[in-house]
Amino acid sequence: MAQTKKPWSGRFQKATAKDVEEFTSSLHFDYRLYPYDIEGSIAHAQMLAAQKIISRAEANKICAGLKNILRDLEKGKIKLDAADEDIHMAIERELTRRVGHVGGKLHTARSRNDQIVLDMRLFLRNQTEEIIGLISSLRKLLLKLAKENTNTIMPGYTHLQKAQPVLLAHYFLAFGEMFSRDAERFADGIKRINVSPLGAAALAGTGLPIDRHKTAKMLKFPEISKNSMDTVADRDFIAEFIFASSVTMMHLSRFCEDLILWSSEEFGFAEISDAYTTGSSIMPQKKNPDIAELVRGKTARVYGDLVAIMTLLKGLPMAYNRDLQEDKEPLFDAVDTTKNCLMLFTQMLGNTKFNVEKMREAAEDGFSSATDIAEYLVKKGVAFREAHEITGRIVAYCLKSEKQLVELSLADYRKFYKGFSSEIYDVIKLEKVINARKHIGGTATSAVAERIKEIERKTK
């Protein structure tokens, strides 16, 4: 790394030590903020001219220079000097190299402290919108899968033990609800991201006659921040974003866990396409659900990013501190990981076959309609506790005699409660069990179809 002249060098007698340059530099990771940094600088320069802080000709020169730099950066035509401390200084140096002395006027009435928050806000607004789009694609796929499976019966589980039959559509829509909350959470975060920090300068504002509303408007911020110290110290919007990402990852990890289990020979409920699985280097028979496992694993990283940002902010004195430079890597990691996982997961799910016969078989055996026997007895006037006890004894009898509930004779049933009639065989039919739960939120085909309609109406 070549040593460079620092913009603050006036006060210093010695050059920065080389190791310090490397230690303090953030360019290798904040480089990706360049489109936002340039967008913000163009708005700032225009405001400076409108306020007659710099001349219109100077602003034009600065803006033209910045636009050229942007174009060249996008084409990969320039390499920024690695000796620069961060993206702000690297772009400013390049600007001055291109347009001369006037480049030095850009930083009037601004500090890197409000500049970096601006870059982060512009970046995160954009990324949040992309993530909301990815969640929306996933929800569309879930809706499609739900619509295809309003008659597919599978065993529902609690404690990973067969509990009651449910529709596969109901299962997909359960995740639909989770991801809908996630999208809302991200969208809500945009309200707090979407606040212009420009004008806060280092921490106290500026004595120059700036127009904060003007820059805010140019950068499409509906609001401007209300306290210059808070403006440069605040990273709540980043913590919130990583929290929202963590919840989304958590939801994905739970879905993945089910798909991993369902892909096992023991379950056999799902088969992920070859294109979205990997093999084993030693065991030729294997087809592994690696994507699902990696998504589950990467959830841990995003939680780590959340812990990193919360710990970074804890006890930090007012206002800006260099510690805050460490907000970027966890944020970028959370953004990239969440986006990748949403993308890959959606592709994988779209390329998974569900074995509806296997699911139905699994729902048939076991005692997933036991609750319905108890509820049948309740309808006959038996107290629920007693009905539970009677049904429990019936199940125990089935286990001992290795029979399913449908295989017991009416005489068998009557041994446990005299009031049983042949209706019981209808009650324990899977379709009956499912369709009895027809209230809002229940798994009956009618209730699920109603929810599908509602979602379609809302997402139109």
State the catalytic residues. 159, 280
Q: Is 25 in the site for ligand ARG (CB under 6 A)?
A: no
Q: Is 314 in the site for ligand ARG (CB under 6 A)?
A: no
How many residues in the shown chain lie near ligand ARG by CB under 6 A? Answer: 8
- Burial class of residue 14 in the structure, from the number of CB atoms within 10 Å of its CB (0-12 exposed, 13-18 middle, 19+ buried): exposed
Q: Is 445 in the site for ligand ARG (CB under 6 A)?
A: no
Q: Minimum Å distance from CB 113 to ligand ARG?
A: 5
State which of positions 50-79 bind ligand ARG (CB under 6 A): none
Residue of 37, 86, 92, 94 that binds ligand ARG (CB under 6 A)? 86
What is the spatial distance between Cα 421 and Cα 428, in angstroms, rounded to a whole number? 12
Cβ atoms within 10 Å of 381's Cβ, excluding its own: 8
Q: Minimum Å distance from CB 56 to ligand ARG?
A: 29
CA 403 to chain centre: 46
Q: Minimum Å distance from CB 86 to ligand ARG?
A: 4
Q: Which residue is nearest to ligand ARG (CB)?
A: 325
Q: Which is nearer to ligand ARG, 164 or 325 (CB)?
A: 325
Q: Which is nearer to ligand ARG, 332 or 416 (CB)?
A: 332
Q: Is 322 in the site for ligand ARG (CB under 6 A)?
A: yes
Q: Which is nearer to ligand ARG, 23 or 283 (CB)?
A: 23
Q: Which is nearer to ligand ARG, 159 or 322 (CB)?
A: 322
Residue of 325, 337, 352, 445 that binds ligand ARG (CB under 6 A)? 325
Q: Which is nearer to ligand ARG, 26 or 46 (CB)?
A: 26
Q: Which two tokens stand for residue 399?
A: 């286990």
Q: Which is nearer to ligand ARG, 271 or 329 (CB)?
A: 329
Q: Minimum Å distance from CB 50 to ligand ARG?
A: 26
Q: Minimum Å distance from CB 119 to ligand ARG?
A: 9
Q: Minimum Å distance from CB 21 to ligand ARG?
A: 13
Q: Minimum Å distance from CB 35 to ligand ARG?
A: 17
Q: Is 26 in the site for ligand ARG (CB under 6 A)?
A: yes
With contacts defined by CB under 6 A, name the span among 207-215, 252-260, 321-329, 383-391 that binds ligand ARG: 321-329
Residue listed under structure tokens 């930083």? 107
With contacts defined by CB under 6 A, name the span among 74-82, 97-105, 319-327, 331-339 that binds ligand ARG: 319-327
Q: Which is nearer to ligand ARG, 8 or 402 (CB)?
A: 8
Binding mask 97-126 for ligand ARG (x = CB under 6 A): ---------------xx--x----------
Residue of 118, 169, 249, 324 that binds ligand ARG (CB under 6 A)? 324
User: What residues line the site for ligand ARG (CB under 6 A)?
Assistant: 26, 86, 112-113, 116, 322, 324-325
